A and B are shown apart, each in its own frame.
Chain A
Amino acid sequence: MIELDSLTSMILPTSSANPHPKFTSKFSAVEHHSVVRITGGCAHMSSADAANMNSLFRKAFLGFSGVLLVGGTRMVDTGYLRATMSESEDANSTEEFSPFVPGITDVGRVIKRQNPNCVLLGVIPRSEGVGFNQEFGILEVIRSVKDDPGDRYAKHIVTIVQSDMDAISLLLKPLQPRRTIWEDEAYFCARIVQAQRESAGWDSALVVYNGGQTTEYEIRLTAESDSPVILIRGSGRIADRLAADAEFLEAHPSVQVCDLNPESLRNALVETGTITPPPGQHGRLRAVS
């Protein structure tokens, strides 16, 4: 049986680049004053690049007690799901199914399940609405090619509301002319993180795994404001390209590069102050031979 969504507690619409106060009020619920935005590959990430992604983040974020800011959706293959549901009555079936298209937005849920004291917040960019899909029991994000001209996926791939979120901000309008809805999400999140840094003195990090054009936009937006960015080298695509770009790294000293293993990512997070080492420890993971 496939576990689908446990519903998010609050979906808070906003018509501007400013989140609803109930969304940011979740920031006051955490012990450690840090916010980590995680971004990167979703639809265009290869399955090879996605392998072990969840495990990497689960290990690196052990003990995290700040705020996580991620995309508020995930993609599900309803054709696969329908086939799985009909076969689930076959008690002899041992094949493992996953109807979900791997994406970076999943790691927030993975971290939250291991670290219940952290707060998990999601953002859903401009869409026509959110509706309940009775067939599968999921909250589906309704979006047309008009909203997302880059969307070329088959109709059986649908976008649903991510589970286990403490709150989700739903953007009702485009925020910036000539930008995509995904760049709007990046811009919206960058404003929130920057506000926490400047007005409340919080530590922050933008963690980048894989990713494409939108991710590059967010990296540059963050790096140009001197906020910490962690590029995971070996995760593929834009993260690898910028991690190897000496000119870019030299021009943006707030950007650091870590390797594709939990120890390296955790050490980078400790450097940014977003994870605090337990007393008497350096907080770093030892490499496992």
Chain B
Amino acid sequence: MSKALDLLNQHQPFEVPEYIGAVRLHVFNVEDNLPPKAQALINNAPGNLSIRIGGGCAGMDLRDQKDMLDLFRTNLDRYRGLISSGATRSIKDGRIDPMVTEVAALLARIGGENIVSISTVPRIGVLQLVGNSRLEMLRQDEYGQSITYFNPGVATILIPQSSDGIDLGWDGDLETYFQMLEARRNCGIFWNGGGVTKSEIKMSLRHGWDTVLVEGSGRAADELIDAMRIGELDLTLADETNRTMYEPRLHHLHVVSKYDKFGLRDKLREISFLS
């Protein structure tokens, strides 16, 4: 079996692969509902299941990152439904630098008609076409200039923006993806991650999603697993005053180990996300 990263054509990080054909981009005001065309794509996804992959890969070396992709491939290759994640791609030395956002692209590659891939990214800068019709997002802030690359390995990218020009921030797409998946049965799988991922995990639990944290993946996922085990998992979001604590009878939190080769698959079977 070829390694997962090889399936993503890692030396052509800006190319839209043939099996995707063309990536659909929907830019819309975050205050509005999703555009009907995006809704039509979501409703046309096979079955009624959605999996959102969240997190990051900070602190991991390339070997770890490849292992992460292989783990998702091994465990999710029979999944049928909608797959979503952050719609960015990290590129280093002209190659794909495999982050967790590549999982949706990977499943789009191996899933064929069983997968509809719709990822999200907030508009946090200026969208510009450069070079050979390559879309980038240029951001200028107190830390200097940065460029975000879009992931051309997913079929559709939703880009919410603020109608009044206010910077949405990196968590500006959370509302969009929770809204877009509202009518489906959802599972959030979280690997590693930082502050935004913590918010995503809390929102996932509070929306009633099956929420799977991968133990051993690092940072946000491991921190929240530890907090859960000592009974101190606080699900309160940054802008809230009333505290909401994790309650096992209300919130569907699952833990799998990254060292368990088929642990994720078994868990997804147990909660009926895989047959």
Q: What residues make up the interface of A, taking CB atoms closer than 8 Å to B?
A: 14-22, 24-25, 27-28, 191-192, 194-196, 198-202
Contact = CB atoms under 8 A, between A and B. Distances in A.
Nearest to A190: B36
A199 B37 contact: yes
B264 to A, nearest CB: 26
Contacts of B28: 18
Nearest to B183: A25
Given A18-B28, A22-B182, A196 B34 contact: no
Nearest to B41: A199
Interface in B22-36: 24, 28-29, 31-36
A146 B34 CA distance: 29
Given A14-B33, A15-B32, A195-B35, A21 B40 contact: no
B39 interface: yes
A107 B40 CA distance: 25
Contacts of B184: 25
Nearest to A22: B183
B36 A19 contact: yes
B32 A27 contact: no
A195 B179 contact: no
11 contacts: A15-B32, A16-B32, A17-B32, A21-B34, A24-B36, A24-B43, A25-B39, A25-B183, A28-B48, A199-B38, A200-B44
Contact of B36 (A18, A22, A25, A201): A18
A21 B183 CA distance: 7
Given A18-B28, A21-B180, A22-B182, A27 B34 contact: no
**5 residue pairs, one from A and one from B, having the closest CB atoms:** A25-B183, A195-B36, A16-B32, A18-B33, A199-B40
Contacts of A24: 36, 39-40, 43
B33 A19 contact: yes
B44 A199 contact: yes
A195 B40 contact: yes
Contacts of B182: 21-22, 25
Q: Which secondary structure dominates chain A's binding surface?
A: helix
A45 to B, nearest CB: 29
B32 A21 contact: no
Contacts of A21: 33-34, 39, 42, 179-180, 182-183
A27 B41 CA distance: 11
A224 to B, nearest CB: 18
A195 B34 contact: no
Contacts of A22: 182-183
B189 to A, nearest CB: 22
Given A21-B39, A199-B44, A202-B40, 16 more contacts: A18-B35, A19-B39, A21-B33, A21-B34, A21-B42, A21-B179, A21-B182, A22-B182, A25-B42, A25-B183, A28-B48, A192-B36, A195-B39, A196-B40, A199-B40, A199-B41
A198 B40 CA distance: 9
A102 B188 CA distance: 49
Nearest to B47: A28
B33 A20 contact: yes
Contacts of B42: 21, 25
B41 A191 contact: no
Contacts of A14: 33
Nearest to A195: B36
B114 to A, nearest CB: 16
Given A15-B32, A24-B43, A28-B48, A198 B37 contact: yes
A199 to B, nearest CB: 4
